[in-house]
């Protein structure tokens, strides 16, 4: 049986060494170290990797890191929520989000036209700029094609952004599809509705993506999942994999707990009961704030990949 070892700092300690030491530290540190090993195994075994995340992560500074991972071709498929799309676009046009705190006076913020996401602030004026820009973008796309799947629409938008720190741009540039099954649920979704009112033949077909994502996976290939948070983005990926035998590798990172019975809190073990993960899959569930756990774990993985010439 593995023994607990004391963590000791030393000069020039790398992130790779730090996360490796977590393997004998105990508690969630062990799960995080295991998650890093699993993701490295995904890459070494040429697994098709899904990266799923919710919009609050694009609100944060993780947005640029997701874009960088796409540039490095770490994930093969992205699944996210609609808020991620609009906030990536907002930031691509120079929009800036501010850091405040969790206990600010929200009535005061509302009066000032400021909107809070945890301890982050987005000014209403950023959404006004977004509305102006997205209408221009949709008008250009409409000239070429009137009916698109969600992923096709997001791809076309990504090509138009020209921002190296944009998830949409880097995904489009590197032919990484972005699936957004809940595309109507945001200001972006409302703008699609408004555009359709003026252009009745304009249609975003979300069901077409279900065909694409399921037929793009096979029983023969290895499949891996990195799920950050939960909700519809997590379930869309694991349901797609279920139809082709389930994931061979899975890492869940979330603040939710299994006791709620929610998709966000569902563990990798629970997924095996549905066949969403294979019985012999390598899997880890890390409980903690993704803004801390993911960059820490993923930096460790990238350092190992660089050392082993996998980048």
- Hey, what's the torsion of the CAs at 14, 17, 22, 28, to 10 degrees? 50
DSSP annotation of 2: P
- Any catalytic annotation for residue 198? no
Partners of residue 48 on adjacent β-strands: 223
Query: Out of 276, 278, 304, 307, which one is annotated catalytic?
Result: 276
Helix/strand/coil for 247: strand
- Cα–Cα–Cα angle for 155, 211, 213, rounded to 5 degrees: 60
85: closest CA among 202, 177, 178, 203?
178
Question: What residues have CB less than 8 Å from 182, skipping those under 6 apart?
Answer: 81, 82, 232
Closest C-alpha among 188, 182, 221, 164 to residue 79: 182
Task: State the first-to-last Cα distance of the chain, in angstroms, to the nearest integer.
Answer: 34
Closest alpha carbon to 153 in 189, 197, 199, 194:
189
Active-site residue list: 276
């Amino acid at each position: 049986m593995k023994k607990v070892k004391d963590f000791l700092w030393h000069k020039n300690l790398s992130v790779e060494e730090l996360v490796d030491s977590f393997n004998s530290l105990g508690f969630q540190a062990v799960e995080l170290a295991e998650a890093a090993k699993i993701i490295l195994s995904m890459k070494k075994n040429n697994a098709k990797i899904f990266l799923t995340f919710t919009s609050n992560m694009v609100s944060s500074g993780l947005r640029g890191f997701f874009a960088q991972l796409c540039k490095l071709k770490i994930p093969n498929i992205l699944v996210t929520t609609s808020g991620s799309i609009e906030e990536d676009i907002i930031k691509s046009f120079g929009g800036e989000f501010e850091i405040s705190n969790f206990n600010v006076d929200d009535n005061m913020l509302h009066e000032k036209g400021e909107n809070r996401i945890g301890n982050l602030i987005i000014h209403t004026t950023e959404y006004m700029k977004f509305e102006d820009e997205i209408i221009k973008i949709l008008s250009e796309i409409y000239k070429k094609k009137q009916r698109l799947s969600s992923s096709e629409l997001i791809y076309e938008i990504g090509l138009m952004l020209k921002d190296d720190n944009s998830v949409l741009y880097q995904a489009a540039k590197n032919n990484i599809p972005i699936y957004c099954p809940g595309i109507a649920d945001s200001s972006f979704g409302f703008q699609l509705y408004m555009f359709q009112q003026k252009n009745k033949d304009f249609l975003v077909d979300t069901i077409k993506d279900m065909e694409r994502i399921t037929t793009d996976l096979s029983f023969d290939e290895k499949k891996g999942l990195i799920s950050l948070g939960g909700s519809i983005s997590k379930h869309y990926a694991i349901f797609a994999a279920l139809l082709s035998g389930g994931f061979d590798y899975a890492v869940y990172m979330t603040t939710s707990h299994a006791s709620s019975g929610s998709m966000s809190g569902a563990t990798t073990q629970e997924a095996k009961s549905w066949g969403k993960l294979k019985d012999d899959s390598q899997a880890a569930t890390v409980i903690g704030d993704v803004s801390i756990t993911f960059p820490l774990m993923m930096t460790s993985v990238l350092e190992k990949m660089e050392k082993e010439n996998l980048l």
